[in-house]
Amino acid sequence: MTRKTLPSSSEYKRKAQSFVDVAQAILDGLNGAPISWGVGQWRAYHRMAERMGFTLVAQTGAERRGYRLKPGARPIGSAAMGGVRYTGRVYILECHFIPPATTSHHDEVQLRQVASEDTPVDAGS
């Protein structure tokens, strides 16, 4: 029977250091020292940040989900997202954006239309 090899302590140290690096970059960005990540860093770090409770996004990505940028919100940095040609400003979704309303304008219009269809029409008019 072969024995399964357990990860070495150096692998855990490397993983822990990655968490520290991401946390430090976010903290630096929040303190006014913007981060700048390349494509590879962005792909790795934004996933790691999510595991830590931070959703890192570009403004357009957040707006597509219905969020609005808070007035005066400043990005924590920039990152090459989706290739070298697109560099976006990085924000923290939970910190820098206003969540979408529970009902959108479109939903309200539909509710009014349904309500007007249910209103009985006066037979005498």
pLDDT digits (tens, 9 = 90+) for 26-49: 999 999 999 898 888 888 888 999
Looking at the chain, the whole-number percentage of residues with pLDDT higher than 70 is: 77
**108: confidence class by pLDDT, cuts 50, 70, 90:** low
Distance CA(71)–CA(120), nearest Å, equals 45
Q: What is the DSSP letter of 57?
A: E
For 32: left if phi > 0, alpha if psi spans -120 to 50, otherwise beta; the answer is left
Is 2 among the domain residues?
A: no
Is 18 among the domain residues?
A: yes
Is 1 among the domain residues?
A: no
Is 61 among the domain residues?
A: yes
In this prediction, residues 69-97 reach a mean pLDDT of: 89
In this prediction, residues 111-124 reach a mean pLDDT of: 41
Torsion of CA 56, 99, 63, 108, to 10 degrees: 160
Q: Which domain holds residue 42?
A: 11-118
Q: What is the pLDDT of residue 125?
A: 39
Q: Three-state secondary structure along 82-100?
A: CCCCCEEEEEEHHHHEECC
Q: What is the pLDDT of residue 116?
A: 39
Is 76 among the domain residues?
A: yes
Residue 99 has pLDDT above 70, yes or no: yes
Q: What is the pLDDT of residue 43?
A: 87
Is 48 among the domain residues?
A: yes
Is 3 among the domain residues?
A: no
Q: What is the pLDDT of residue 120?
A: 37
Is 5 among the domain residues?
A: no
Number of compact structural domains in the chain: 1
CA 25: distance to chain centroid?
A: 16
